[in-house]
């Protein structure tokens, strides 16, 4: 009966969507299932909200479709190596507008100072403050001076703002002073923590700034204005005609309709032409490709971003007693136990859910994806301690090793007082296509190899909205597939998930701390960060830190999160391209295709893009 009711509900939803009024001309229509929890781009650290900010707030620079840096709010810039200063000359035709499109103020250098002050006030709890103060002179000391000390801790000195290396030299001249050479700094300023904010509007809104209840809680200076925002109903982005580069904003409106069943119903609505983008899982892809009527509606997914996916063990479980968190602590702190899971996981079989045709093509053995950065033609993942890990090939499944690790772990776990089988809580977001199916594959494959008397994987659906907050950030998992996207062009950006407890709290693992109680991983990362004048040595040091995480099985690298096929009326080779930050989230520069790109057209466009990009690089 429940299944029948669910089917009826889905059909009713589909029918209601089918009779939506016709979209406006040049409108890109999609469904979404995860609502914004905040519009405050200065505090959020959620990809869903980054995508919003990328389209409504411009940055100092941006990247074109070939990955070449271009002026944006800054018309020009220069770097003074002796004084470690970046000076940006801002354009004078950029404006802030309200949600209704009316002009509020000019964008000036003071807006970047106001944003920095807001981010560096610990009371505002910016999730990206650490990225900002990791490079700007005096920023961390100022931030600490605004923080509330823990009980028994001495307060940090309160610092004057003049000690922070962010200055408006005049209305249209902005200067950042670095605390040490940062060879990748220009790539950082495309990120949310370097976005501007208008100080008057910030003061006017107070605590309501960026609250996800109204589009009027933001100002806009980007390609689009969030003209309609009805939480869990609809949001509409409308072209910002006041934008300095409005001529290159080619899609007039982006209409996003909320539906918690979007992953289920979007393919059929897309096929009927009611929406312009849909999630296509491997089963639907196989069906559509075998049918002449639908084969041309989809094409391969382009790996335009460098999001990395990995399975993370949780060393600080906060889940319910029914899942035996204390027993899990004993198990997860046993290295042989973790390695039995690492060697026993058939990653290729699990990745078949994402890409049934060629799963190896989207897999890699490291946290940092290949081709992210390189030195003298040598890829970072092939340097230092990562080289032998990369050379293993993507098929790391080793039944013999897994069973040997299991045998050693069983003896050690029993001696430590653990009970078997160890319960392993593995959650998934029900609105992420294929995730539930992948969990089933992992459960069956690992339990089939290692034995149900050793592990008991418990699959549980998390909430469709707020999954990251409720599950990952709250520590309500034992083993979880996580992801991370780079914020700038340096391996340090891939340490963020594991530094200071963002994901799996490696500092809480027993047996891996130095005499001062500090994690070995932290020490390795700190050593790498301190190398600023020798990129080869810097990358090799980061490779050692990353290899430590993998060799000790703190995590199990997986690969890219996208593979297989997608359905969209967008040309994937028109979008801004950068392996970091938020450029790939922007609709600016893109057009709507009259008919979807098919597979042959996709590869023709890809080859053309590669040729054009290579020609630019050779100039």
Tokens of 85: 């200063």
Contact by Cβ (8 Å): 38, 51: no
Q: What is the pLDDT of residue 537?
A: 96
391 or 307: whose pLDDT is higher?
391
**93-148 pLDDT, tens digit each:** 999 999 999 999 999 999 999 999 999 999 999 999 999 999 999 999 999 999 99
Q: How far is CA 484 from the centre of its chain?
A: 5
List, in sequence order, every beta strand (DSSP E) within 155-230. Answer: 166-170, 173-177, 224-230
Indicate the pairing of strand 61-63 with strand 69-71: antiparallel
**Does the pLDDT at position 10 exceed 60?**
no
**Omega before 421 within 30 of 0, i.e. cis:** yes
**DSSP class per residue in 428-444:** E-TTSTTHHHHHHHHHH
- What residues have CB less than 8 Å from 533, skipping those under 6 apart? 181
Q: What is the pLDDT of residue 607?
A: 94
- Proportion of the chain above pLDDT 70, given as a percent: 95
Least confident of 74-83, 228-237, 460-469, 533-542: 460-469
Domain 2-33+230-299+565-618 class, CATH top level: alpha beta
Contact by Cβ (8 Å): 427, 461: yes
Q: What is the pLDDT of residue 501?
A: 64
**Does the pLDDT at position 9 exceed 60?**
no
What does the radius of gyration of the chain's CA atoms come to, in whole angstroms?
A: 25
Least confident of 301-305, 334-338, 530-534: 301-305
**Does the pLDDT at position 433 exceed 90?**
no
Q: What is the pLDDT of residue 5?
A: 35
Side-chain half-sphere CA neighbours of 74 within 13 A: 26
- Give the H or E element holding residue 256: strand 253-258
Q: What is the pLDDT of residue 455?
A: 98
> What is the pLDDT averaged over residues 177-201?
95
Buried b (16+ CB within 10 A) or exposed e, 21-36: eeeeeebbbbbbbbbb
Kindly list the domain boundaries of the chain, sorted by start residue. 2-33+230-299+565-618, 47-215, 308-559
581 or 3: whose pLDDT is higher?
581
Tokens of 204: 């006017």
Among candidate residues 161, 164, 190, 193, the one with its CA nearest the CA of residue 176: 164
Q: What is the pLDDT of residue 302?
A: 86
CB atoms within 10 A of CB 612: 13
Q: What is the pLDDT of residue 468?
A: 84
End-to-end CA distance of the chain: 66
> What is the pLDDT averaged over residues 432-451?
95
Buried b (16+ CB within 10 A) or exposed e, 363-391: bbbbbbbeebbeeeeebbbbbbbbeebbe
Tokens of 606: 């890809």
Into which CATH architecture does domain 308-559 fall?
A: Roll (3.10)
Do 2-33+230-299+565-618 and 308-559 show the same overall fold? no
> What is the pLDDT averaged over residues 3-9?
37
**Does the pLDDT at position 560 exceed 70?**
yes
DSSP bridge partners of 374: 379
**Does the pLDDT at position 279 exceed 80?**
yes
Helix 399-415 with 435-450: angle, nearest 10 deg: 80
Residue 253 to residue 223: CA distance in whole angstroms: 11
Please write down the HEC assignment for all residues of 348-369: HHHHCCCCCCCHHHHECCCCCC
Which pLDDT band, with edges at 50, 70 and 90, does 11 fall under?
very low
Q: What is the pLDDT of residue 20?
A: 33
Q: What is the pLDDT of residue 305?
A: 65
DSSP bridge partners of 612: none
Contact by Cβ (8 Å): 592, 26: yes
Contact by Cβ (8 Å): 335, 405: no
- Compute the mean pLDDT over every residue in the chain, rounded to the nearest whole number: 91
> What is the pLDDT averaged over residues 476-488?
91
Indicate the pairing of strand 253-258 with strand 27-32: parallel
Which pLDDT band, with edges at 50, 70 and 90, does 14 fall under?
very low
Residue 266 to residue 289: CA distance in whole angstroms: 17
- Proportion of the chain above pLDDT 90, given as a percent: 75
- Burial group, residue 186, by CB count within 10 angstroms (0-12, 13-18, 19+): middle
Into which CATH architecture does domain 47-215 fall?
A: Alpha-Beta Complex (3.90)
Q: How far is CA 81 from the centre of its chain?
A: 32
**148-183 pLDDT, tens digit each:** 988 888 999 999 999 999 999 999 999 999 999 998
Q: What is the pLDDT of residue 304?
A: 67
237 or 35: whose pLDDT is higher?
237
Which pLDDT band, with edges at 50, 70 and 90, does 396 fall under?
confident
> What is the pLDDT averaged over residues 31-40?
92
Among candidate residues 45, 57, 23, the one with its CA nearest the CA of residue 234: 23
CB atoms within 10 A of CB 69: 16
- Give the H or E element holding residue 525: helix 520-529
Which pLDDT band, with edges at 50, 70 and 90, does 8 fall under?
very low
Residue 232 to residue 258: CA distance in whole angstroms: 5
Residue 551 to residue 385: CA distance in whole angstroms: 10
**Does the pLDDT at position 325 exceed 90?**
yes
Q: What is the pLDDT of residue 590?
A: 96
Among candidate residues 258, 218, 212, 251, the one with its CA nearest the CA of residue 235: 258
Which pLDDT band, with edges at 50, 70 and 90, does 7 fall under?
very low
**Does the pLDDT at position 1 exceed 60?**
no
Q: How far is CA 189 from the centre of its chain?
A: 17
Long-range contacts of 125-128 (CB under 8 A, 24+ apart): 125/43, 126/42, 126/43, 126/193, 127/43, 127/44, 127/45, 128/42, 128/43, 128/44, 128/45, 128/191, 128/192, 128/193, 128/487
């Amino acid at each position: 009966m429940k299944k029948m009711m669910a089917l009826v509900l889905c059909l009713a939803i589909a029918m209601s969507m089918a009779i939506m009024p016709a979209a406006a001309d040049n409108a890109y229509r999609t469904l979404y299932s995860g609502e914004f929890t905040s519009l405050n781009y200065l505090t959020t650290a959620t990809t869903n909200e980054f995508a919003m900010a990328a389209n409504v707030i411009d940055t100092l620079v941006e990247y074109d479709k070939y990955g070449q840096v271009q002026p944006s709010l800054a018309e020009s810039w220069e770097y003074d190596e002796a004084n470690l200063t970046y000076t940006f000359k801002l354009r004078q035709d950029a404006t802030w507008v309200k949600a209704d499109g009316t002009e509020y103020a000019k964008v000036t250098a003071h807006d970047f100072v106001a944003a920095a002050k807001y981010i560096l006030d610990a009371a505002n709890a910016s999730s990206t403050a650490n990225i900002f103060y990791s490079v700007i002179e005096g920023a961390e000391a100022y931030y600490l001076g605004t923080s509330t000390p823990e009980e028994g801790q001495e307060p940090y000195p309160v610092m004057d703002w003049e000690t922070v290396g962010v200055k408006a030299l005049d209305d249209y001249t902005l200067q950042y002073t670095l605390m040490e050479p940062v060879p990748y700094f220009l790539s950082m300023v495309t990120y949310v923590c370097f976005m501007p904010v208008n100080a008057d509007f910030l003061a006017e809104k107070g605590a309501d700034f960026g609250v996800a209840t109204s589009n009027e809680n933001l100002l806009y200076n980007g390609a689009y204005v969030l003209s309609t925002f009805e939480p869990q109903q609809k949001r509409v982005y409308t072209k910002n005609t006041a934008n300095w580069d409005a001529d290159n904003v080619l899609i007039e409106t982006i209409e996003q309709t909320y539906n918690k069943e979007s992953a289920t119903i979007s393919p059929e609505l897309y096929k009927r032409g009611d929406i312009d983008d849909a999630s296509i899982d491997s089963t639907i892809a196989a069906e559509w490709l075998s049918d002449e009527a639908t084969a041309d509606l989809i094409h391969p997914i382009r790996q335009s971003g460098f999001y990395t996916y990995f399975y993370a063990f949780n060393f600080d479980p906060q889940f319910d007693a029914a899942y035996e968190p204390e027993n899990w602590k004993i198990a997860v702190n046993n290295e042989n136990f973790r390695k039995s899971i690492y060697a026993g996981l058939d990653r290729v079989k699990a990745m078949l859910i994402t890409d049934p045709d060629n799963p190896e093509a989207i897999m890699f053995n490291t946290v940092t994806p290949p081709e992210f950065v390189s030195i003298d033609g040598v890829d970072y993942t092939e340097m230092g301690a990562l080289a032998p890990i990369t050379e293993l090939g993507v098929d790391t499944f080793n039944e013999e090793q897994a069973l040997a690790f299991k045998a050693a772990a069983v003896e050690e776990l029993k001696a430590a007082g653990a009970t078997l089988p160890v319960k392993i809580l593995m959650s998934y977001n029900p609105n992420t296509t294929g995730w539930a199916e992948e969990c089933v594959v992992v459960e069956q494959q690992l339990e089939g190899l290692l034995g149900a008397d050793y592990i008991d994987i418990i699959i549980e659906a998390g909430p469709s909205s707020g999954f990251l907050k409720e599950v990952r950030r709250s520590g309500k998992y034992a083993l979880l597939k996580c992801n991370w996207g780079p914020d700038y062009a340096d391996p340090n950006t891939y340490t963020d998930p594991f530094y200071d407890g963002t994901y799996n709290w490696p500092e809480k693992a027993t047996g891996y701390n130095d005499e001062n109680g500090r994690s070995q991983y932290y020490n390795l990362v700190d050593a790498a960060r301190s190398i600023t004048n020798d990129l080869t040595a810097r990358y090799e040091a980061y490779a050692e830190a990353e290899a430590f995480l993998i060799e000790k099985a703190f995590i199990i690298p997986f690969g890219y999160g996208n593979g297989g096929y997608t359905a969209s009326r967008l040309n994937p080779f028109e979008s801004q391209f950068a392996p970091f930050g938020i450029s790939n989230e922007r609709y600016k520069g893109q057009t709507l295709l009259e008919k979807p790109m098919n597979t042959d057209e996709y590869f023709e466009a890809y080859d053309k893009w590669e040729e054009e990009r290579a020609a630019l690089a050779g100039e």
